[in-house]
Amino acid sequence: MGVWYMPPFELVQPRDLDGALRHLADWAADTKILAGGTDLLPSMRQRLFEPRYLLAVGRLSELRGIAWEGDWVRIGAAETLNAVAAHPQLVSAFPALTEAAAAVAAYNIRNMGTLGGNVCLDTRCHWYNQSYFWRKGIGFCLKKDGTVCHVAPGGRQCWAAYSGDTAAALMALEAQLRLVAPTGERLVPIRAFFLNDGQRRFVLRPDEVLTEVRIPRWMAGYQGRYFKYRIRQAVDYPLVGVAVLVRTSGPRVLDVRVGLTAVNPMPRYFDVPSEWLEEPPDVWVERVVEAVARLARPLKTSLLVGPAYRQHLVRVFVRRGLRSLLALSAAA
């Protein structure tokens, strides 16, 4: 069996969300959700996933649309990353999110990849994201088929890094996720969605579908930026991703938030204490830089860039983001 042949599967194409939920009621354990497929299908070719069914939800109307509804901005989980990045109202209201969406991979991939898929990305690691035969040669790893995490061989946890770009901005924006199952639905704050475990990843159950991302409308008052480091600018996942949000009133800084991705098994966030902002900007900016750097604990999930340099880049991006947004506010 050649390593690049897809494993056998059955494609299920429901006409609506109810049809998808009926399938999940019976076959959730044997099913993977397929939206854009830009991450899932290459992973299947590497035998990282071998589901019996692929449940295609990318064209379901219940997972599409971008709308301002009451206190929330609703973005369908199946909206493409290009649609999010180019939406005029989103660009104006949530620039950190649209910059993060525009930073994913390349244009043609963003035409297929979805916001929901980016949020639900699998964690990544040098020892995991390889062909079946490569992984077999090292005895596999704790995340898939093995018993040892090669990043931290003495431990019992998988340390593969979460690498979704948009999650950094959504964590800072306090987004909520609508999860729908055959038995009902629930709203989960994105800050409670992820788990600090490279294997379990998040609280999404096998019978649940992420249908929409909701952002509090009042977050539209924040300026924002997203910074990303990757090896190949055209296609690669982030090795460091930082979203910075600042809210000001005239010369006064009212609130600062930072979201962080690709340096831990889960994305992180840091809400700056309001009392810090009473200090001179040069002082509180450096306090924020060091506080966020302490949250970042990159391990050797990549052999291309070491943990120390990735942590250094966290400091660089946080400082760069804060200084650029403060300068923008001063010039307004």
The strand pairing partners of 243, in sequence order, are: 226, 259
Question: 176-181 and 72-76 as β-strands: parallel, antiparallel, unpaired?
Answer: unpaired
Section 99-118 average pLDDT: 98
Name all domains of the chain by residue range, CATH numbers in brackets. Answer: 60-218 (3.30.465.10), 223-331 (3.30.390.50)
Q: What element of type H or E holds 166? A: helix 165-172
CA–CA distance, 14 with 27 (Å, rounded to integer): 14
pLDDT value, residue 235: 81
Helix (H, G, I), strand (E, B) or coil at 212: strand
The mean pLDDT value of the chain amounts to 97
Which tokens go with 260?
């962080």
Closest CA to 283 of 242, 326, 225: 326
pLDDT value, residue 228: 98
Closest CA to 236 of 183, 157, 161: 161
pLDDT value, residue 5: 84
Are 85 and 49 within 8 A, CB to CB? Answer: no
CA–CA distance, 264 with 266 (Å, rounded to integer): 5
Per-residue model confidence as pLDDT tens digits over 156-195? 999 999 999 999 999 999 999 999 999 999 999 999 999 9
Are 230 and 238 within 8 A, CB to CB? Answer: yes
Task: Give strand ranges (E) for the chain.
Answer: 10-12, 31-34, 53-56, 66-69, 72-76, 176-181, 184-189, 209-216, 223-229, 240-249, 252-261, 268-271
pLDDT value, residue 108: 95
What does DSSP assign to residue 310? H
Burial (CB count <10 Å: 0-12, 13-18, 19+), residue 253 = buried
pLDDT value, residue 253: 98
> Which single residue is written with the structure tokens 């600042």?
246
Out of 46-60, 162-176, 185-199, 227-241, least confident range: 227-241
pLDDT value, residue 1: 40
pLDDT category at 126 given cuts 50, 70, 90 is very high
